[in-house]
Amino acid sequence: MNDQDKKKLLALARKSLENELNGSRNDLDIYDTAPFRESNGLFVTLLKNGNLRGCIGRIESDQSLYENVVDLSKAAAFNDHRFDRLTPQELDNIVIEISILSIPQDVEGDSSFDKVSKIVPDRDGVVLSAKGKRATFLPQVWESIPVRENFVSELCRKAGLSKNYWEKNPVNLSTYQVEFFKED
């Protein structure tokens, strides 16, 4: 994606939040253009003072980038259960980050340890699933959890499993890469 399209998607995300906060319905259809009609997994992350303020996404999606940016921007601001709803006073202090995901690929291996050893830190986003539960971390999370085993343990915890679940039980892992960009 070129720099101009990245700026347009970030502008769309911000305009979606402004519309929601101000009760306005400014026309967003000007952003519904050919490059944004592709369907991809996508996450929208909101940062405030460098700290997470909301993050919602879809690992895979049939919706267009345009629709996902609108929906997920609002979901990150108003429906992330870890945070209170975004207020109009906060909007100027929010930095929006968008991550466009590649299609996840299953990690093959004889054991969970074998699968974990195939994950590439700082490159791979990881989806973990077991016992009907699922969780993911974007590749950006490697900055705060740089050790593979700890990364997967925290994914287990996020999925509602015991932290060391993967060490004693089979887990399914898949990896994806992202193209991410954020406001200046």
Asked if the model's pLDDT at residue 84 lies above 80, the reply is yes
Structural domains of the chain in order of their starting residue, each with its CATH number:
3-101 (3.30.700.20), 105-177 (3.30.1490.150)
Asked if the model's pLDDT at residue 29 lies above 80, the reply is no
The alpha carbon of 141 is separated from its chain's Cα centroid by a whole number of angstroms, namely: 10
Q: What is the pLDDT of residues 159-173, one digit of tens each?
A: 999 999 999 999 999
The β-bridge partners of 94 are 48
Asked if the model's pLDDT at residue 27 lies above 80, the reply is no
CA 44 – CA 55 distance, rounded (Å): 6
Rounded mean pLDDT, 61-78: 94
